[in-house]
Amino acid sequence: MRLVWVSRHELNDRNHYILKKAFGKYEIRQYPHRVKYIHDLIYFAELVNADAFLVVLPDHQLAELFKYSKLPIYRFIVRRVEKDDGSKEFIIEGLEEIIDYTIVTRRIV
């Protein structure tokens, strides 16, 4: 499984543990740029012969990626814990595949 990792952060040991549990053997190709255009990300995935995306993206880009790419899209399940000192800790709990992603809005003003 060749995954395009879309995040500014490097994967840590916990990420790798979860990926190994999910896929067995896998390769990571990190997208080296801030995502401005989803089509550039899709083109990068084609260049590296990716099997899937592993993403940290805002809603509008995630919806666009889902619309224009046929590759599976995965993301880590992360629990955010606020500590007593006000700082936040992010605990990676698992991995999920995004099966459908639709944003439905209603204009207010």
The CATH number of residue 68's host domain is: 3.40.50
From first to last of its 109 residues, the chain has per-residue pLDDT tens of 999 999 988 999 999 999 999 999 999 999 988 999 999 999 999 999 999 999 999 988 999 999 999 999 999 999 989 988 988 888 899 999 999 887 788 889 8
Q: What global pTM score does this model have? A: 0.87
What are the backbone dihedrals phi and psi of residue 18, each rounded to the nearest 5 degrees, phi first? -65, -40
- What confidence score (pLDDT) does residue 32 get? 82
Q: Which of 38, 44, 27, 94 is nearest to 66 (CA)?
A: 38
Supply the range of the domain harboring residue 84: 2-97
Query: How many domains are contained in the chain?
Result: 1
* CB distance 73 to 62 below 8 Å: yes
In a domain? residue 109: no
Structure tokens at 109: 């003003």
